[in-house]
Amino acid sequence: MNKAPFNSKNEFPNVILAYVNCKPLTNWEVEEFYSLTNSAGYNVAGYIFQQRETPDGRYYIGLGKLNDLKSVSLATKSSKIIFYNELKGHQFFQLEKELGIEVIDRTMLIIEIFSKNAVSNEGKLQVELMYKKKMLPRIMGQGLVMSNQGGGGAGGTGARRGIGEQQKELDKRTIKNEIKQLENKLEKLSEERAIRRKNRERNRCFTISLVGYTNAGKTTLMNALSNTNAEAKDQLFVTLDPLSRRISTIMGREILLTDTVGFISNLPHEFVRAFRSTLEETISSDLILHVVDGSSPVAYEQYNVVNSVLDSIGASQVPSITVVNKSDCGIFSFVPHSDNFVAISAKNRINLDSLIKIINKFLTQKIESEKVIISKNNFVGLFEEDSTTTLSK
């Protein structure tokens, strides 16, 4: 992953990154955090890590580091603090009150990137759902802080608090209703997607899903295999909406290739829930092409992240080919665990014919095995027909 192209000049608003844990993030996790921040359109002006066994209940970060955060953000004129940790609703509120600037966490950062990149109706609804689900605890947390702070004051304060709480209660209910409506709309779209899938199955189309760590080159490969021109950029989460293209036919059957949203480490739960129907495409496909950026120094880490996400969504049983991309960048030190892999360059169209051969071989074998099953079934059918005839005689 390359963070230089969108971070070289200070033309973006400054932000400070923060992380609290008993052990620091690995170098590549820090690098990923920087890249996400850059992709959202910010410049990283500082990174503060605090080693702590347990987070502070009120601010998540300890008081000493909180003061550091305050002075660094003031000195760098930063507009936001971004925590890698998932914060609770009241912690956002307390931190913002103390620091005087906006505080978000990594999940909200990802939602920001998604909201810039969502194109289709479904993509926009998915992002909105993630956003609303994230906002709800913030509003509830704010209410919690206000009611704790109010404690037994004189009539005036109590009355003001009462109005504030009523407003929060109203906001909470409105957001809950909006979440329900969004979920219903997405459910409808998911049903439509399932019908399309059934139709493809009926027409006996083969479906191949492109999966991989974000920025691995999935869209570039999709374009190369289908001779199209979907947007591919050196940024994270450029593709959010699954895009299917017919790439060719084999023994009279169509082959559809679907490009999907990229993965990253520690995917927020909201992501998996909001993108459930998109991810279902992957689970139901005949073959997965797992695209890895072989030129990345952290290719193994990215490969493992994707495998564990596939596992968590129930797609680890789908047959897959590992496509080690960007072979034009030099000799790879990365070799996948599976035997089923091929090194290519999607951008420079190097070795695509080997990849196509492997895909064709896999699909031909699949057709052959289906034929065996069909003829076995026919045999059983004949036998049963025969036995009933005998019995009725």
Ligand X SMILES: Nc1nc2c(ncn2[C@@H]2O[C@H](COP(=O)(O)OP(=O)(O)OP(=O)(O)O)[C@@H](O)[C@H]2O)c(=O)[nH]1
Q: Which of 7, 214, 282, 302 binds ligand X (CB under 6 A)?
A: 214
Considering the rule CB under 5 A, would residue 238 count as an interface residue with Mg ion? yes
The one-letter amino acid at 176: K
Considering the rule CB under 5 A, would residue 209 count as an interface residue with Mg ion? no
> CB 140 → Mg ion: shortest distance, Å?
35
Considering the rule CB under 6 A, would residue 237 count as an interface residue with ligand X? yes
Tell me the window of 62-70, 215-223, 246-254, 346-354 that interacts with Mg ion (CB under 5 A). 215-223
Q: Which of 191, 234, 370, 385 binds ligand X (CB under 6 A)?
A: 234
Instruction: From residue 102, give the alpha-carbon distance in Å to each of 25, 30, 43, 95.
Output: 23, 21, 15, 8
| Residue placing its CB nearer to ligand X in the complex, 236 or 274 | 236
The one-letter amino acid at 302: Q
Identify what 107 binds: ligand X, Mg ion, none; CB under 5 to 8 Å per kind. none
Considering the rule CB under 6 A, would residue 268 count as an interface residue with ligand X? no
| Residue placing its CB nearer to ligand X in the complex, 137 or 217 | 217
Considering the rule CB under 6 A, would residue 187 count as an interface residue with ligand X? no
* Binding residue count for Mg ion, defined by CB under 5 A: 3
> CB 265 → ligand X: shortest distance, Å?
14
Cβ neighbours of residue 30 closer than 8 Å, sequence gap 6 or more:
47
Considering the rule CB under 6 A, would residue 38 count as an interface residue with ligand X? no
At 98, phi and psi to the nearest 5? -75, -40
Q: Which of 262, 268, 294, 336 binds ligand X (CB under 6 A)?
A: 262
> In the 8-state DSSP scheme, what is residue 317?
T
Cβ neighbours of residue 162 closer than 8 Å, sequence gap 6 or more:
none
Considering the rule CB under 6 A, would residue 329 count as an interface residue with ligand X? yes
Tell me the window of 14-22, 194-202, 236-244, 248-256 that interacts with Mg ion (CB under 5 A). 236-244
Distance of alpha carbon 217 from alpha carbon 238, whole angstroms: 11
Q: Which of 70, 273, 347, 366 binds ligand X (CB under 6 A)?
A: 347
Annotate 226-279 with DSSP letters as a single string. Answer: HT------SSTT---S-EEEEEEEETTEEEEEEE---B-SS--HHHHHHTHHHH
Diameter over CA atoms, the chain: 96
Scan for tokens 């695209």, then name that residue.
291
Residue pair 129/179 in contact by the 8 Å Cβ criterion = yes
> CB 219 → ligand X: shortest distance, Å?
3
Identify what 329 binds: ligand X, Mg ion, none; CB under 5 to 8 Å per kind. ligand X
Identify what 258 binds: Mg ion, ligand X, none; CB under 5 to 8 Å per kind. none
Considering the rule CB under 6 A, would residue 265 count as an interface residue with ligand X? no
The tokens for 386 are 């025969």
Distance of alpha carbon 16 from alpha carbon 207, whole angstroms: 43
**Where along the sequence are the contacts to ligand X (CB under 6 A)?**
212, 214-220, 232-234, 236-239, 262, 325-326, 328-329, 345-348
